[in-house]
């Protein structure tokens, strides 16, 4: 069964700006539409987003290129291990391709998380970083 997803979006901003926003509590909150995020921006640092619905630990940081985190939500069954999130940033000219690879998700929740990434991250990020409602 399917337990992973891969999504991409292109944003009209430098990778450094998006990477930095992802790891900053106030910017992360703003780029996702105003929900509360609390982020300790270092390897081993804990994070939470969407008012505590999402939480985990940062596992790897490659500045302006890659973020890896253990990741789960309050909807994960208790006996299920954390999922793994990798966020890759590839800058091309004045745009950045973000590739989100999310693995080890509970099998019956993959479609819901795909929709969640699109609706609660990609759409608000598109608006935040470009001021438009362009499709990705």
Residue 14 tokens read as 């430098």
Higher pLDDT, 8 or 94: 8
The pLDDT score that the predictor gives to residue 95 is 95
pLDDT at 28: 97
Q: By the 8 A CB rule, do 88 and 8 touch?
A: no
Q: What are the backbone dihedrals phi and psi of residue 51, each rounded to the nearest 5 degrees, phi first?
A: 55, 35
Rounded Cα gap, residues 112 and 27, in angstroms:
25
∠ CA 61-101-118, rounded to 5°: 110
- For the chain, the first-to-last Cα distance in angstroms comes to 27
* Domains in the chain: ranges and CATH: 5-130 (3.30.530.20)
Q: How far apart are CA 33 and CA 22, in angstroms?
A: 13
**What is the C-alpha to C-alpha distance for residues 67 and 12, in angstroms, rounded to an integer?**
20
The string of DSSP letters for 13-69 reads S-HHHHHHHHT-HHHHHHHTTS---EE--STT-EEEETTTTEEEEEEEEETTTEEEE
Is the overall model pTM greater than 0.75, yes or no?
A: yes
In tens, the pLDDT along 22-67 reads: 999 999 999 999 899 999 999 999 999 999 999 999 999 999 999 9
């Amino acid at each position: 069964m399917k337990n992973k997803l891969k999504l991409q979006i292109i944003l009209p901003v430098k990778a450094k700006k998006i990477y930095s926003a992802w790891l900053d509590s106030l910017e992360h909150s703003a780029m996702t539409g105003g929900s509360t995020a609390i982020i300790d921006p270092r390897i081993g640092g804990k994070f939470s987003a969407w008012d505590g619905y999402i939480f985990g630990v940062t596992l790897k940081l490659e500045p302006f290129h890659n973020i890896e985190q253990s990741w789960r939500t309050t909807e994960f069954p208790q006996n299920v291990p954390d999922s793994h999130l990798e966020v890759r940033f590839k800058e091309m000219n004045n745009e950045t391709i973000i590739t989100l690879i999310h693995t080890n998700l509970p099998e019956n929740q993959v479609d819901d998380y795909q929709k969640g990434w699109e609706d609660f991250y990609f759409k608000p990020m598109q608006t935040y970083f470009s001021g438009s409602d362009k499709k990705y």
